[in-house]
Structure 1
Amino acid sequence: MTTFDTAVAQARDLLRWRSPLRTELWAGRLAAGLEPGQVEPFLRRLAEDGSAESRLTLAALAAVDQAAEAASGESDGTVAAAGSEDRSARPHTVAGSGMAGALPGWVRLMTRVRCEGAWYGKGDPYGEQTLAALSFCYENGKEPHLLVVGIDQVSGGLAVDALVEEVKFLDDLELRAADPGVVAGRVLDAFELGDRILGVAVADTLPAVRPIALARAHAVPDLVRPAPDDTLTRFRELPELPGAREAFEKLAEFVGDRPLWWSPARASRFLTSWLPREAILSEAGIAAMPDVVRAWSRFSGGHPAVLDQVEADAPRLAALMADESLAGLGKRIAQSHRRDS
């Protein structure tokens, strides 16, 4: 069976189900499965066929493609008419222009959603991957669904997986409620970062969900970009020790915009490598650092493996900070300026 035959058979079922969500997800999978050389012949065959199933296929591909195109800023949101010579629009959008008008009304609901809530948090015990979740329903209030995007922290905060599930899927995730505009901003930031990096390893399922994820995130009002993370400001367990604030400022500099990622390896790297190479601290700051890191580790989940790693590395900190051979170039230059001033 050809791709065309399979698509028409599946579209026939979708016309019976009358589900905008199923149809969008199907269109995303269909588009992701087409090789570049297959796109034009496939669209041409659908246009020539002219059946309701072919029109639905074209309309669904156009809806998902246009929404993702607008979300990524690649167009001004206008759709070129079929046969237009405007090649700035992508082929799915051009081929499917106007098709929805000749189909049942539910088809025109595709991509027309409103955001109902948002959540964000760790996807694993150490926060090496975080999850951004957004719930939606269509303009008619039907088909509530949840978009979940996996954001890899170890690789810099880029999107590596995404799925669309029933809202009850949220019950299995330990995520905090968050501002929808911030969470949607994180999703868009994560996809944008992935677009700038070549050779990123992502889930095989991501290409099919990507256009829907972009469109959903962009549909959220009051987007915040770049999206901040309030984890550091929620930390209230700073020890009452001389130098504790100075120590925490260095910790905050190290975790940067990925504060949920705190694993044994990252804690060890901070104490045994980053601090000796990068940080200039007073004696009080060095003395307070182990207690500050312990408090941060408890705040970050209190995982025994992390706490054990801190206990193993903390006693070495003072000696490592005193070893000038471990200092990086920037630290050596800063220390030289301090001595000369």
Structure 2
Amino acid sequence: MSKRPRGRRPPKKDGRARTRRRDRRLEQRRRRDQEPDLVDRVALALEEHPLSLLELVSGILAILEPPRHPFGPEPSPDVPGFDDLVESFLGTDLHETSALLAVFAAFSDDELFRRRALREITGRADALPGWLADLGRTRVTSVREVAHVLGDGENHVLGVLLPDGTEFTTVVYVDHNVGTLVKDAFVLPAPAAAVVAQLEEIADDPDSVVRDLDPADARARIVEAMEQAAITYPPFETETWPACRALVRWVTGMLPAGGRGHEFPEWSGAQLADLTERFLRSPQGTGFDDPDHRELLESLLWFGSGSGTGDPLRWSPVNVEILLLDWVPRKIVADVPHLDRLPDLLRAFVRFCHAERGIRSVHTQDTLAAVDAFEAEYRQLIRADRRQGPEALLEALGVLDPPDPEWGLNELARAVGGRAVLDALSTEPLPDEPFDWTGVPEDVRPRVGEVLALVDSGCETLFDGGDAVEMRTACRRLLSRTAAADPVAFRRAARSEISAGTICWLVGRASDLVGGRGGLMVKDLAAHFGTGGGSFSQRAGVYLRALGIETPPGAGVELGSPDYLVGARRAAIAEARDGYRSRDDDLLT
């Protein structure tokens, strides 16, 4: 039999109690007029799923937490400090401030503050909901890991049980390609088993593995990855991270201590030398045993053993992209003819490594396709006037300006599909356009029709006026072309709601209508489609690959064509284009 949630009993219903309640309501109304935003948001959150309040407080703490890296922005003088905010809650006797104090106390490591906050809450007349009054009895019920054979990163999935029996799930994605750090995290109001099933459905890949993870090891790994994220600049930010950082830290802190963090094998010089000779003696290594290719191979092994998981045999589309578009142009000082030999060597080495690891050919082909996709830009980069070493790092941090406006123009061109398209970019609104069924196979048309109906409904419900029309047209185009290019994506088991939400998310992000400043919040988009916001970013890869769209790390969502951008977004790109051109003219005069 479950225990009754503890909480303070309401006062007896006598005349003095009614007078006190009336006076308190008047005082609450007066203070509510002074602080409408936060108090009203808390009141609404208390009427919803418990996660609403937990996420709200976590978001507040993310704003208050000072940056750990030297290039972070200075705290805004308009944002109160943590101590000032807490004192205002302690001095304001409202049901909503009591709720805030309860969550702040649960999230805090300061024992004195926790005791003071709980003593203040206990002395107030309003009873908190049972789950909130007993928040300290929350526990983690399951710890699982969702990983992939290519080893780019893992989702850590923690099932959580609140004192009143409410379940929710915390998902933390640790990315190895950018330093084994938390790159994204989110929480979902669903049991962990359902979330794991949804992650498997989104991945739709037999090489994605779900396994139990030792709770102490999970804690060590997540804490370690959060620490690394905190000192990384520029920081990785999504719609939910680092807003949910305090919530993740609280949940992770419920796990036992003493576990082992990420442990990657270190390759000795002798092991790397042996790997070199094995490759050069292999069928894939034929024709590469000469001083130039050996030197380049040494660079590949340096990159592979010194980054990510430290495994020079691990190659994926993502770390191929990092190698070609960042690491080699930034770090390797050599003449162009020498660096021109790298792509062919990389293709051969990827084939060798995947054969050694027994990786399925579909992943080998995807990785080789990434080499093909980035080769032209790589060759352009190694010929460009570019900064290297410390200067390149400072440029990435924003401390140094790009060498010339060409950099900015190239960034804009990538978003719309090339410099010629950028030059002729129209800013006219997209027309109201019917769905194009050309090329969509008959067997997937019923499924595509379901997704189309959901997309149309979502655009009409979530966006206003012209934005709704343009979003609907752009989403129809993306859905039509994806279904024609890769109908297999619509023969799989992914829910139509996830597919529709992902299409809207992709177009909305690319057009700055979802996420970011002033855009539709991702959680509202997810709520409309009845799924988790994290599902969209993970499912998006299926559709982007179908259309051959590659988005560089940290670049946000780029669909590579103005066909998917609303007029306002194209106008902003055109304005930036003209600004870069003006700067280019100034440099020439």
- TM-score, scaled to structure 1: 0.60
Select 2:185's aligned residue among 162, 169, 173.
Answer: 162
The DSSP-based 3-state class of the residue aligned with 1:119 is: strand
Q: CA deviation at 1:267?
A: 6.1
Q: Counterpart in 1 of 2:167?
A: 144
Q: Counterpart in 2 of 1:213?
A: 248
The alpha-carbon distance between structure 1 residues 208 and 95, as it changes in their structure 2 partners (threshold 3 A), is farther
Q: CA deviation at 1:131?
A: 1.8
Query: Which amino acid in 1 is paired with 2:237?
Result: V
Structure 2 residue 306 is matched with structure 1 residue 257: no
For the residues of structure 2 that align with 1:197 and 1:122, how far apart are their CA atoms?
23
Residues 67-97 of structure 1, C-alpha deviations (whole Å, 9 max, x = no match): xx3xxxxx5xx234xxxxxxxxxxxx58734
Select 1:98's aligned residue among 119, 138, 143.
Answer: 119
Number of matched pairs: 261
For the residues of structure 1 that align with 2:195 and 2:57, how far apart are their CA atoms?
22
Q: Counterpart in 1 of 2:355?
A: 294
For the residues of structure 2 that align with 1:265 and 1:204, how far apart are their CA atoms?
22
8 Å contact from structure 2 (residues 176, 308) kept in 1: no
8 Å contact from structure 2 (residues 147, 155) kept in 1: yes
Give matches, 1:77-92, under 5 Å: 78-80=111-113
In structure 2, stretches of 5+ residues that fail to align are 1-31, 65-77, 201-208, 266-276, 283-300, 332-347, 373-589
8 Å contact from structure 2 (residues 173, 184) kept in 1: yes
Q: Counterpart in 1 of 2:94?
A: 51
Q: Counterpart in 1 of 2:236?
A: 201
For the residues of structure 1 that align with 2:223 and 2:41, how far apart are their CA atoms?
31
Q: Counterpart in 2 of 1:176?
A: 210
Q: Counterpart in 2 of 1:8?
A: 39
8 Å contact from structure 2 (residues 219, 257) kept in 1: no
Q: Counterpart in 1 of 2:513?
A: none
Structure 2 residue 88 is matched with structure 1 residue 62: no
For the residues of structure 1 that align with 2:358 and 2:35, how far apart are their CA atoms?
55
Residues 122-173 of structure 1, C-alpha deviations (whole Å, 9 max, x = no match): 48x9554432221111245x12111111222221111122100123232221
Residues 157-191 of structure 1, C-alpha deviations (whole Å, 9 max, x = no match): 11122100123232221351221332332211100
Task: State the identity as a percent.
Answer: 18
Q: Counterpart in 2 of 1:306?
A: 367
For the residues of structure 2 that align with 1:25 and 1:159, how far apart are their CA atoms?
17
The alpha-carbon distance between structure 1 residues 128 and 46, as it changes in their structure 2 partners (threshold 3 A), is same
The alpha-carbon distance between structure 1 residues 25 and 266, as it changes in their structure 2 partners (threshold 3 A), is closer
Q: CA deviation at 1:33?
A: 4.7
Q: Counterpart in 2 of 1:23?
A: 53
Q: Counterpart in 1 of 2:135?
A: 110
Query: Which amino acid in 1 is paired with 2:59?
Result: R
For the residues of structure 2 that align with 1:300 and 1:218, how far apart are their CA atoms?
41
Query: Which amino acid in 2 is paired with 1:159?
Result: V
For the residues of structure 2 that align with 1:265 and 1:39, how far apart are their CA atoms?
39
For the residues of structure 2 that align with 1:310 and 1:26, how far apart are their CA atoms?
42
Query: Which amino acid in 2 is paired with 1:178?
Result: D
After superposition, the CA RMSD in angstroms is 4.4
For the residues of structure 1 that align with 2:101 and 2:370, how far apart are their CA atoms?
56
For the residues of structure 2 that align with 1:194 and 1:55, how far apart are their CA atoms?
32
Q: Counterpart in 2 of 1:134?
A: 158
Higher relative CO (CA 8 A, sep ≥ 6), structure 1 or 2? 1
8 Å contact from structure 2 (residues 131, 162) kept in 1: no
The DSSP-based 3-state class of the residue aligned with 2:35 is: helix
8 Å contact from structure 2 (residues 176, 309) kept in 1: no
Q: CA deviation at 1:293?
A: 3.7
8 Å contact from structure 1 (residues 11, 53) kept in 2: yes
The DSSP-based 3-state class of the residue aligned with 1:151 is: strand
For the residues of structure 2 that align with 1:185 and 1:301, how far apart are their CA atoms?
34
For the residues of structure 2 that align with 1:107 and 1:143, how far apart are their CA atoms?
11
8 Å contact from structure 1 (residues 114, 137) kept in 2: yes
For the residues of structure 1 that align with 2:254 and 2:355, how far apart are their CA atoms?
41
Q: CA deviation at 1:26?
A: 2.3
Query: Which amino acid in 2 is paired with 1:154?
Result: N
Q: CA deviation at 1:290?
A: 5.9
Q: CA deviation at 1:262?
A: 3.0
The DSSP-based 3-state class of the residue aligned with 1:298 is: coil
8 Å contact from structure 1 (residues 189, 225) kept in 2: no
8 Å contact from structure 2 (residues 59, 243) kept in 1: yes
For the residues of structure 1 that align with 2:183 and 2:177, how far apart are their CA atoms?
11
Query: Which amino acid in 1 is paired with 2:43?
Result: R
8 Å contact from structure 2 (residues 169, 187) kept in 1: yes
For the residues of structure 1 that align with 2:222 and 2:167, how far apart are their CA atoms?
19
Q: Counterpart in 2 of 1:186?
A: 221
Larger radius of gyration: 2
Query: Which amino acid in 1 is paired with 2:309?
Result: D
Q: Counterpart in 2 of 1:333?
A: none
Residues 4-31 of structure 1, C-alpha deviations (whole Å, 9 max, x = no match): 32222233344555x6443322221233
